[in-house]
Chain A
């Protein structure tokens, strides 16, 4: 599975969009990009995933560059409850069940 690089921490004002970047320059053609988050003292929570097209759900949007070497998770209107560690993971979806969680980005939403 490809390695990912994320900033260690970010701040975002409440109500503004939070844009969390992830680099995955060694991603293979069959690897998906997943995002999870972990709120303090809880287990990680799935947010969204995608292969090459942009994806949107009720929680967030995922923008993947055309060359797939990077992606951005967008929380359109961040709230204080979005303060968490956000993990970007790339993985194949056949032949393995494995996720490799890095150390993620600690997002702090400020009032």
Chain B
């Protein structure tokens, strides 16, 4: 069974802390994505990567960075967490062909105090 896993389901951090969210997929997918989901706003794309060490900004990259050192792993980094980054974070992966569906992880609910 295909799988996208995220390092934590729930995370509580303090303002100013550096936060790492990890995502691992076992499907050998080239593309990986990070979204955040907030009530009334749907899912918004933060960053995506179409290959190892390659990344592109999504719609809301400010305050975030990403790292993709290995094909199966895509990390989202909050350099200095702020309360407005409290959200549900979702990772996804897909094959390189544009038609192919995205497979999502279970999400990490991050609270920044």
Contacts and interface: CB of A to CB of B under 8 A. Distances in A.
Interface of B: 4, 31, 33, 35, 40-45, 48, 50, 58, 90-92, 94, 97-99, 101-107
A44 B4 CA distance: 12
Nearest to A34: B101
B102 A99 contact: yes
Interface size class of A (residues with CB under 8 A): 20 to 34
Contacts of A41: 106-107
Interface in A87-106: 87, 92-99, 101-104
The binding surface of chain A is classed by DSSP as loop
A29 interface: no
Contacts of B40: 103
B98 A103 contact: no
A52 to B, nearest CB: 14
22 contacts: A32-B99, A36-B101, A41-B106, A42-B104, A42-B107, A43-B91, A43-B104, A44-B102, A46-B103, A49-B99, A87-B42, A92-B98, A93-B97, A93-B99, A94-B98, A98-B48, A99-B43, A101-B42, A101-B43, A102-B42, A103-B40, A104-B42
